[in-house]
Amino acid sequence: MKSYKELPNDAGSNIIGQVTAQADRLQKRLASVKHTVAIMSGKGGVGKSAIAANLAVALTLRGNTVGVVDADINGPTLAKMMGVRNATLEYTPAGVKPAVAGLGTKLISMDLLLAEDDTPVLWNAHTQKDAFTWRSTMEVGALREFIADTVWGELDYLLLDLPPGSDRLPNVAELIPNLGGVVVVTIPSEVSQLVVKKSVTMARDVLKVPIIGVVENMAFYVCQHCGEEEPLFSADETLDDAFQQVLLGSIPFDPRLARCSDTGIPYIDEYPDTPASKALIQVTEKIQNFFDEKTQRSL
Amino acid sequence: MKFLCTDCDTAMKFKDVTRPEQGSVTALFECPDCFTEIAMYLNPSETQMLKSLDLKLGGNNEAAQPMQLVRSQLETAKGESMPNEFSPEIASSETTEGGKCPFTGVISEAFQEEPEPTEPTGPVWSAEALERLERIPAFVRPMAKMGIESFAKENGHDEITGAIMDAARGNFPAQF
């Protein structure tokens, strides 16, 4: 009796061919993207998406063409933060035209596909029971299509804003084998750093993805009247040494940044001279330097 | 996944696939030498997994549409802007359901459920039996359900009770 390997094909479904075609679509699209950056935290509520939105704007203001993938399929926020929630996606034979924010930053997000504010991401299925067996697969498929089927055009940077947790990064690393690097966002609290360390280990040691650096968000508070800096968290809660070594910048807490995120106004453009904007620009410069040096090394 | 006709020692070939019935698809394979057919049943979880991977049994010769998985599988999608020159013949087949993708019918045709019969054709489950059914591990529950229903039909029972489940139990490895 013939063994599995002796049988010539999979009876005609050509599953490998179908999967290869999906991968080809993805690689073809990524060919026009110079640098891919995943922005992750591991912990929720650290302001990762707000950082991602402002880094995208800062990179755009520095003359780069920038696209953003809101990879948080179930909790998308970037369309609101970037002021494009009312955009209607346009479908063309070449792909889906992304939403374009005021300064030219392009965005694709599940939020742009959901019917109403209170519409959850619900997939067609005979039953939603036992959805744990396939839901994650569906989400990775959605992420693949977001990257592969969006008409990005030529991009200098494609940022991927990952959901909290370290579980999505392996999916991204598989979809984008030459992922340029990871920016890790944390806040000074020990709890946040504890969880974020796991994400760093996952990226650096397991997936072998370069860590561009760490952004310390809500690092301190600047009094808007006297300009004095005060710690927002306990003074004992400082950034771990391991994070200090790869620190891209410390972003002070500014309530106006939260307000801008709520209203879809790019904070960094609206308040360019604030300590938070200056810190964000510093982070942006370091990200660009990381890729410039990488390019130099490869020449 | 491959299938071998053990009589001929020949690889079987895909022949046909049904639309899902109660979430489950059936694929037919045939031996090219002796024409023996076998049916492979995918339970609803397996069928859904195949959908989630955006893969099609029997192969896929159609060009991929932009974001076809998301647009065909998202239950409540936003309305879309579609340029006229894109594919008017397909666009004209848009359903009347608000916000649904005009490609949904084309893309997911293979996975669209057969319409539910207006009259129930199978036995009715008693509350007690349903409660016991829920205790069966999720991954084998659909198979067990179908098996119990077949047992009830074959033995002329209109209602599935705990006693019917006990009688059918010998046919299944799972305890319920």
Burial of B26 (0-12, 13-18, 19+ CB in 10 A): middle
| E strands present in A139-246 | 155-161, 181-186, 211-222, 229-230
The model's pTM: 0.79
* pLDDT surpasses 80 at B77: no
Report the percentage of chain A scoring pLDDT > 90: 66
CB contact under 8 A, A89 and B80: yes
Q: Which residues of A111-126 are buried (b: 16+ CB within 10 A; e: fewer)?
A: bbbbeeeebebebbbb
- For residue A276, give the nearest of A26, A58, A34, A121 by alpha carbon: A58
Let me know: does A40 contact A79? Beta carbons within 8 Å. Answer: no
C-alpha span between B146 and B39 (Å, rounded): 15
Is the pLDDT at B102 greater than 50, yes or no?
A: no
pLDDT attached to residue A263: 96
* Whole-number pLDDT of residue B81: 54
Report which listed range, A119-128, A142-151, B23-32, B122-131, is most confident. A142-151
Inter-chain touch B14–A129, beta carbons under 8 Å: no
Report the C-alpha dihedral over residues B58, B63, B65, B67, rounded to 10 degrees: 60
Least CB-CB distance to B69: which of A110, A121, A142? A142
- Is the Cα torsion angle A148, A152, A157, A161 positive or negative in sign? negative
B70 and A145 within 8 Å at the Cβ level: the answer is yes
Q: Domains in chain A, please, with CATH?
A: 28-298 (3.40.50.300)
Chain A residue with Cα closest to B70: A142
The minimum CA-CA distance between B144 and chain A, rounded to whole Å, is: 15
Residues of chain B numbered 99-158 and touching chain A (CB < 8 Å)? 99, 108, 113, 138-139, 141
CB neighbour list of residue B32: distance below 8 Å, 6 or more residues apart: B10, B12, B13
User: Cβ of B73 and A138 within 8 Å?
Assistant: yes
In this predicted structure, what is the pLDDT of residue B115?
54
Mutation pick from A4, A6, A13 vs chain B, by most beta carbons of B within 10 Å, is: A13
Backbone angles phi, psi at A30, to 5 degrees: -70, -15
Quote the pLDDT of residue B63.
82
The helix (run of H) or strand (run of E) holding residue A288 is helix A275-298
Instruction: Provide, as residue numbers in chain A, all residues whose Cβ is less than 8 Å from the Cβ of B11.
Output: 2, 7-9, 11
The pLDDT value recorded for residue B138 is 67
> Residue A11 corresponds to which tokens in the numbers above?
């009876």
The pLDDT value recorded for residue B86 is 43
Please name the residue ranges forming H helices in A36-84: 48-61, 78-81
Average the pLDDT over B118-129 and give the result. 76
Task: Name the residue among A22, A95, A133 with its Cβ closest to that of B45.
Answer: A133
pLDDT 10s digits, A149-185: 999 999 999 999 999 988 889 999 999 999 999 999 9
Confidence band for B119, pLDDT divided at 50, 70 and 90? low
The interface predicted TM-score (ipTM) is 0.87
Q: Which of A126, A127, A141 sits opposite B54 (nearest CB)?
A: A141
